[in-house]
A and B are shown apart, each in its own frame.
Chain A
């Protein structure tokens, strides 16, 4: 029974992720990459253990992350409440080993560490429950 609920839940989450993906695409078309990333980080990570949901969500965040050109203007409008979850996705990006992704993540990582401090990195590394 529990498994069934989990699967059902996962389907609902996937639908929501698809909806969010469309919203992000339209924001990117309007040249609002910062808005797109904020939308992506809102409510992240999805509250599930389902790996399928997590990787689907990562694709959405990755899309928004790679569209960021001006990192300074990102931090002018990104609220501190998103710092911890953004850091988690940056480490996820670095773990892919993909060259352009790592370049982008390192660039943002530098600025984010300046702003949010080492405590933000510690919270990312220490959190084994709400993984991305």
Chain B
């Protein structure tokens, strides 16, 4: 089975991130705290609670080399947490936002991080040694609505964003004194905040987005059950729109240049693959279910949803809900909102990843021993 382990951590999880060696996981249980769990003797134990935010934590990212955690919250602030002996010490980053922060991501070199917000702006934050201070530089007046997701290109300069105005944009985030000109290659002429590209493919909200490992392909999803693949990012991009028959996706992850996993409202990761000439298509669901015929599926889904409502009106985790989830047999029982790669430092490609969602579970998946996927890994 593709799901290696399933663990129920909370009622609901807004976001999660792994420590560099994957022995610890940090997540927000849908409140103002971040919980850090460690696997001790085959059991997950809560070892730290990071309390500093006032409202729901909407984004967490854990840097691999510097071992720092960055968190953003609806309270419009961000903290960078560093481990000092046994405690996690927060440093406030003033983002200068007037709306909630929604997502955060460390840059590949970990000298900057990007924050998307409901204030139609993106913050690029970097550390100023002389002041011992994280500075936030804003990209303003480029988005017409909330920024739902940010993704760094491997070159550490390009940043892609998706927004609820339906557009996907790519910006240059070159900061003098932080980035060096020669490291940037083709992007060396661009200034901070310069828009490299804007794509207007989705007619509804755009959500999760990622670059392929090489940075040649960009993928993002729309709330209209579509996924968009963009090649040749620059002045003349080429794009593919792939419509699929199931509920919309929320987040995506490239496994290789030819395989992508999408997660979302269908509670089951979807596998997309590219053929020899680079045409993307939906292959199958990853989890083992949904084998019933279409009509039977909708019937059972409907009655199951009803069952859930009745169950929940009595008590959140009554037997009804547990039983219906068992009959459905999937690892996740509710919308999956995030997917995180479990790639180790130095690995060429990652075949395992974790997902979390509104059902409060974190599921670890592995793609090895799936014969039909081998050629795409």
Contact = CB atoms under 8 A, between A and B. Distances in A.
A119 B203 contact: no
Interface in A80-132: 84, 113-120, 122-123, 126-130
A126 B204 CA distance: 6
Interface residues of A, number: 16
A119 B223 contact: no
A119 B243 contact: yes
Given A118-B245, A119-B244, A119-B245, A126 B223 contact: yes
Contacts of B295: 114
B246 interface: yes
B204 A118 contact: no
B224 A113 contact: no
Contacts of A113: 298
Given A117-B244, A126-B222, A127-B224, 16 more contacts: A84-B243, A115-B294, A117-B245, A118-B225, A118-B246, A118-B247, A119-B225, A119-B243, A119-B246, A119-B248, A120-B243, A122-B224, A122-B225, A122-B248, A128-B203, A128-B204
- Chain B, interface SS category: loop
Given A123-B224, A126-B203, A126-B223, A114 B294 contact: yes
A117 B204 CA distance: 19
Interface of A: 84, 113-120, 122-123, 126-130
Interface string B321-336: 0000000000000000
B245 A120 contact: yes
Contacts of B245: 116-120
A27 B222 CA distance: 38
A41 B33 CA distance: 53
Contacts of B223: 122, 126
A127 B203 contact: yes
B247 A119 contact: yes
B226 interface: yes
Contacts of A130: 203
B199 to A, nearest CB: 15
Given A113-B298, A114-B294, A114-B295, A123 B243 contact: yes
